[in-house]
Every structure is written in C-alpha cells, then in structure tokens.
Chain A
C-alpha cells in the first residue's frame, strides 16, 4: 500500500528525508492493470483503456475488408461451414479463410448476399459425410434454394449506395445465431431457425 510522503523533521538529516522522498516518489509510478495501456514520455504518462469489447458479437459475424469477406464462427445443425475446405473459424496451421467478393454478384439494386449453402441428401438432410457440406458463397439474389436445389441461409447483405457503383457497399448482418435446418421432405422446402 502506498503511504503519504515522508515529512522532513527538525533536527533530522535532510539527506535522509530526501532519500525517503525519492523512495516514496518511485512508488507513485502509474502502472498498467488489465485492460489498461500506458506509454511514458517527458510530458507524462499517457493512460489508455482498451476499447470496451462488444458484449454481443453473435454467430456468423461477417467482415468485409480488402475485397474479401470472412465469416465468424457459427454452426448449422452443429456443423461449421467451410470456405475452400477450411472451417470458417480457422484451422490449426491455416489462415482464416475468406471469399473473394465479386463486383458482378450484385443485383440491379446494388445488393449482394453472403450466404451459407447446404448440401443435402436425397432425404433432405445435411450431407454430413461431405467435407463441403456447408459452404459460404456470394449470391446476387436472396434466394431460398440455389438452382441445383441446395438450400441457402442468408448471413449478411451488402448494399451499394449507388447501384451502378463498383464499391462493395455497406454491410448488414442478417444472421446472429447458430442455425438449425430442417426440410419438409417431398416439396423441397427448407427452413433455418436458431
């Protein structure tokens, strides 16, 4: 515990009081605790707090940077989707996978979607045996089922301010939770819900 500075007393050695003062002063140094960053300069010690962490990030958090999109960890029926054969949350020794955003994959309104696409068996269940059972794709329409019959869960939408622009646009998160998929069998309807 830090105490008050030592007082000089009449009759005592000034040197002794000075040394005690120096010793006390060294105890006033500002130190960093958890979540605190400090940097020292001649003008003083700058104290910075780490930005408060977002308390809710959710599953399938999509980030877009440098023309690529990464997707945070999330599962569909307990299985983690992949991008180019690598799980979206990353795998040991491999970088976090990303998909390259294609400017052509935008609709007339300037919208594009990052979606999870599920490979299903003839019985309408997730083809768990396939390595690429659930993959991440970019689509130009908020479809429910791809042309090849694979059900689609939209995870995020990109919107260009100018539909004819070439930028990737503003990102809107659509899915916030891990999902479960079920089909209704013969009529090829598939539903996604947390």
Chain B
C-alpha cells in the first residue's frame, strides 16, 4: 500500500500547527530530545513597598548613596536635602557608614563578621586583656567587616519647654508656677514637611522625664522621628582598607507602609501654667518636686496629667 504525499504532508502540517509550541507572552519553551517543556515565565510578582531603600556606590564621590522609593506622611512626600523624593530626577541620600563595634547580628556572624573584641577576654581581676586561645582561625570563616547606617524620617513639631518660677506667698510658703513655653525653632526653620535623613546610628528623640521637664533641665524634642531602614555593608573576605564599592549592601527594612503623623496637641496656644503651693523655702525646687513626684502622691498624678495634656510629643502610624 502507498501513502500519498498529500496525506503525509497534511499530517505534518497538522502536527506543526497544533503540536509545535511557540513561546508567547509570559511563556518560556525549552526543547529537548525527550520532548518540549512549556513553562510560565519565572517572573514572580514583587510588591514594591514605600520607603524601599536602594543603595549604590558612587564612583565619582567614592561614597555610598541611596534612593528611597517614595513614601508619604499625611499624604506629603518627604524631602532629602530639600528635594522632594518624588522629584525627577530622584534625590540621592548620602549614607554615612560606621563600622560596627560589639557583636554583629547573627546573620552577619554566620557570613564571617567578627566581633572586634572577639578572641580577647579580661584576665581575672587585673583587667588585662589576654588572647583567648579557644579561637583559632582554622575553624572560622574568612574574616569580613561590617558597617551600618540608619535611614530615618523626621517631622518637626513645636516643643513645650518651661521653667519653674517661685513667688513668696508670705507665711504660707511659696507659690510655684511652671509656665510652658512653646519652642517652634525647628518648625520655623525646616517647616512641617517630613525629612529623610541618614546617620550612622539612629536614636529616636527622647521625651524628658517629668522631673527634668519641671526643673527645666531637659528640653522637649522639636521633632518626632522613626527608623525607616538599616543599611549594612559587608566587606569582601579578609579585606583591608576603607569602605568602597566592593562591599555588599544588605537592607533591613523597618517601615513598609505610608505613614500618618500627629502631634499630641493641636492648639499649643491653650497651654496654661501649672500652679502649685508649697510651704518650703525658696530655691528648693529640686526637693519640692522630688516630694511631689514621689509614688503615691496625689499631686504627682495631678502634675503628670496636666503636663501630659500639654506635651506635644507626636505619634506615627501606618495607613
């Protein structure tokens, strides 16, 4: 029996048309002698969150810089050195790295970063450091160095300061008045727009203690700040020299969503003096406030309540 060429070719045409796969959109085809493998393109979806920090080595300035994916505070885009992060071209944030001291995070210790003090221990009561022979280079990964830099966000706000004043109330003792004063220095110079900044080690503004505030010995911070991310730089193995472009950056994000921010008090003009009467002699604020702030003292609760309502410390939250 013969098979006509027409039938033969018809089958081939059919096979090519229907059983010969070609790569279309998002498709990858791999032909092998055993068959053809059809796969979706391995392009996993990545949600690029706000505040994503992308560091890069600048060969011209020989320093590390970063761009920050725009994030918002109360719907407003922050600035970097006065330039909005949504501007085109996007501003660069200089990263002032410092090599870490003390034990490194475990992740980096596993990669060979050593505690600068590792291998030494204090010898008894003499305080002399001696080499700890229990560590031997043979059993450790190649040494690497680690540097870090924190990227943070700051919003200026009015601060509430104040100092006590005393007025002699005759035989009954003294009237002590603590009048809040409003400090808008940073707010005036920088404005209310949030600012992105980088430092070797971020430390959030600390609210002074009640005693410090009453005594006027510590100022209310003029900003609220939040950590956005920590950028680590890992050196090549056994690297000796200053930080350069051969180091590998690692990002540890701390904030992944846009933010809202509000200071505690909107109308600082309403701040009113706190008045207290005491039988103590003048010039003894310290002892007087110590007594007032003692645990269980009703006056302490009264003062704490009054000052809390006149504190402008703000809060961040995600939206």
Does B266 lie at the interface of the complex (its beta carbon under 8 Å from any beta carbon of A)?
A: yes
Query: Which residues of B line the A interface, CB within 8 A?
Result: 1, 3, 7, 11, 13-27, 29, 38, 40-41, 43-45, 47, 70, 72, 74-77, 84, 86-88, 257-258, 260, 262, 266-267, 317-319
In the complex, A47→B1 CA distance in Å? 38
Chain A proximity of B39: nearest CB distance (Å): 9
In the complex, A46→B44 CA distance in Å? 22
Instruction: Tell me if A45 and B17 are in contact (CB < 8 A).
Output: yes
Given the known interface contacts A42-B13, A144-B74, A154-B74, the answer about A189 and B262 at a Cβ–Cβ threshold of 8 Å is yes
In the complex, A61→B47 CA distance in Å? 14
In the complex, A54→B54 CA distance in Å? 22
Chain B residues whose C-beta falls within 8 Å of the C-beta of A45 in the assembled complex: 17-22
Instruction: Tell me if B72 and A154 are in contact (CB < 8 A).
Output: yes
Chain B proximity of A35: nearest CB distance (Å): 8
Chain B residues whose C-beta falls within 8 Å of the C-beta of A50 in the assembled complex: 26
In the complex, A159→B317 CA distance in Å? 24
In the complex, A172→B257 CA distance in Å? 13
Chain A residues whose C-beta falls within 8 Å of the C-beta of B86 in the assembled complex: 111, 157, 159, 170, 172
In the complex, the chain B residue whose C-beta lies closest to that of A37 is B24
Chain B residues whose C-beta falls within 8 Å of the C-beta of A115 in the assembled complex: 75
Interface readout for A151-177 with B: 1 if CB under 8 Å, 0 if not?
A: 001100101010000000010101111
Chain A residues whose C-beta falls within 8 Å of the C-beta of B40 in the assembled complex: 35, 49, 52
Chain B proximity of A1: nearest CB distance (Å): 15
Instruction: Tell me if A47 and B23 are in contact (CB < 8 A).
Output: yes
In the complex, A45→B16 CA distance in Å? 8
Chain B residues whose C-beta falls within 8 Å of the C-beta of A42 in the assembled complex: 13, 16-17
Does A40 lie at the interface of the complex (its beta carbon under 8 Å from any beta carbon of B)?
A: yes
Chain B residues whose C-beta falls within 8 Å of the C-beta of A179 in the assembled complex: 319
Interface readout for A1-25 with B: 1 if CB under 8 Å, 0 if not?
A: 0000000000001110010011001
Chain B residues whose C-beta falls within 8 Å of the C-beta of A48 in the assembled complex: 24-27
Chain B residues whose C-beta falls within 8 Å of the C-beta of A41 in the assembled complex: 17
Chain A residues whose C-beta falls within 8 Å of the C-beta of B16 in the assembled complex: 42-44
Does A104 lie at the interface of the complex (its beta carbon under 8 Å from any beta carbon of B)?
A: no
Known: A157-B77, A179-B319. 6 other contacts (CB 8 A): A37-B24, A48-B24, A49-B25, A49-B40, A157-B86, A176-B258
Instruction: Tell me if A52 and B43 are in contact (CB < 8 A).
Output: yes
Instruction: Tell me if A13 and B318 are in contact (CB < 8 A).
Output: no
12 A-B pairs whose Cβ atoms sit less than 8 Å apart in the complex:
A21-B11, A28-B15, A39-B24, A44-B21, A46-B23, A48-B27, A50-B26, A54-B47, A55-B45, A144-B74, A159-B86, A194-B318
Chain A residues whose C-beta falls within 8 Å of the C-beta of B260 in the assembled complex: 191-193
In the complex, A154→B77 CA distance in Å? 12
In the complex, A38→B47 CA distance in Å? 29
Given the known interface contacts A18-B3, A172-B77, A191-B260, the answer about A51 and B26 at a Cβ–Cβ threshold of 8 Å is yes
Chain A proximity of B161: nearest CB distance (Å): 22
Residues 128-168 (chain A) with a chain B CB within 8 angstroms:
142, 144, 153-154, 157, 159, 161
Does A91 lie at the interface of the complex (its beta carbon under 8 Å from any beta carbon of B)?
A: no
Partner of B19, one of A28, A174, A177, A191: A28
In the complex, A48→B11 CA distance in Å? 25
Instruction: Tell me if B18 and A49 are in contact (CB < 8 A).
Output: no
Chain B residues whose C-beta falls within 8 Å of the C-beta of A161 in the assembled complex: 88
Chain B proximity of A51: nearest CB distance (Å): 6
Instruction: Tell me if B22 and A43 are in contact (CB < 8 A).
Output: yes
